[in-house]
Amino acid sequence: MLITRYTQATAVLEDSGVVPPPVPQDAEPGTLAWLRARVSRFASGPVHAERRRAVVELLASFDPAELRVRARALAGVPADEVAARSFGVDQVAAVSAAASGYLSGETSPEADAAVRELLPLGIPMITVLLQAHASTAALIANARAHDDGVTPIEDLLHETLRHDPPLKRTRRVGVEIDLVAANRDPDVFPDPDRFDPSRGRTPHLTFGHGVRPCPAAAHALAIAAGYLEGNRS
């Protein structure tokens, strides 16, 4: 079933009985498939809660204000390296290779080798890096496409998140939620197709909602804001 309306989307995301599609648990240790069986993102119930707790604890050790300063200093580097480098990790090629199949499950020898290279960082940190990689780069690219150089960066980012979510759909068993459509539900967002940064912060679903929303919204916003600021000046 495809969900496009806002209230239906929030109801599904708040229902702890509606879980993400499970991933195979029997993969060879150290591979991307093995990693996917060990992260919070594809787990459910108490296992998800425990893994999520470990990631949230790790994220608490990174101050968003500090991440913003670091990202500002990265103005010259490619946007898809900014998240990892802001978190202090320089293995950007490995992060990119491992992230390429993290959501889809499409594995490759390169992705498996990258996971092995990153393993010493620990699974919570790898989770942070792989979740951050493409979504933060896409947020930056989408915001740049609307950047007139004068709109306050926070307003630009909030409206970019609503109007152009980097992750366009999210899946649960038997259900797919169309985040683009939900973020443009006219019952919630007046004149929804108009890009209007003066809306400020809106209740968009781009960082998820309910049982398992993105635990790093503040971190992602700080990194994107710092990088955009650095490139404006």
In the complex, the residues that contact ligand HEM under the rule CB under 6 A are 20, 40-41, 52, 55, 83, 127-128, 131-132, 135-136, 139, 161, 165-167, 170, 206-208, 212-216, 219-220, 223
Minimum distance from CB of 109 to ligand HEM (Å)?
A: 25
Nearer to ligand HEM, 41 or 116 (CB): 41
Nearer to ligand HEM, 112 or 158 (CB): 158
Q: How far is CA 14 from CA 171, 206, 213, in A?
A: 14, 15, 10
Nearer to ligand HEM, 150 or 161 (CB): 161
Nearer to ligand HEM, 43 or 188 (CB): 43
Minimum distance from CB of 54 to ligand HEM (Å)?
A: 10
Assess contact for 100 and 129: CB atoms under 8 A: no
Instruction: Return the CA Rg of the chain.
Output: 18
Q: Give the three-state DSSP class for 170.
A: strand
Minimum distance from CB of 113 to ligand HEM (Å)?
A: 23
Minimum distance from CB of 190 to ligand HEM (Å)?
A: 22
Minimum distance from CB of 223 to ligand HEM (Å)?
A: 6
Nearer to ligand HEM, 109 or 200 (CB): 200
Minimum distance from CB of 209 to ligand HEM (Å)?
A: 7
Nearer to ligand HEM, 1 or 150 (CB): 1
DSSP state of 208: -
Give start and end residues of each alpha helix (H) in 5-163: 6-14, 32-36, 45-59, 64-72, 79-86, 92-100, 109-118, 123-146, 153-163
User: Concatenated DSSP letters for 41-82?
Assistant: GG--HHHHHHHHHHHHHHHTTS-HHHHHHHHHTTTTS-HHHH
Backbone angles phi, psi at 231, to 5 degrees: -80, -20
Burial of 39 (0-12, 13-18, 19+ CB in 10 A): buried
Assess contact for 158 and 118: CB atoms under 8 A: no
Nearer to ligand HEM, 112 or 164 (CB): 164
Residue 113 CA to residue 30 CA, distance in Å, equals: 8
**First-to-final CA distance of the chain:** 46
Minimum distance from CB of 90 to ligand HEM (Å)?
A: 16
